[in-house]
Chain A
Amino acid sequence: DSGVTQTPKHLITATGQRVTLRCSPRSGDLSVYWYQQSLDQGLQFLIQYYNGEERAKGNILERFSAQQFPDLHSELNLSSLELGDSALYFCASSTSGRAVDEQFFGPGTRLTVL
Chain B
Amino acid sequence: QKEVEQDPGPLSVPEGAIVSLNCTYSNSAFQYFMWYRQYSRKGPELLMYTYSSGNKEDGRFTAQVDKSSKYISLFIRDSQPSDSATYLCAMSANYGQNFVFGPGTRLSVLP
Q: Which residues of A contact B (CB under 8 A)?
A: 2, 4, 33, 35, 41-45, 48, 55-56, 58, 90, 92, 97-100, 102-108
Contacts and interface: CB of A to CB of B under 8 A. Distances in A.
Contacts, number: 62
B98 A48 contact: yes
Nearest to A96: B96
Interface residues of B, number: 23
A73 to B, nearest CB: 17
Contacts of A108: 41-43
Interface of B: 32, 41-46, 49, 51, 88, 90, 92, 94-104
Contacts of A48: 98
Given A42-B104, A43-B104, A100-B32, A33 B98 contact: yes
Contacts of B96: 55-56, 97-99
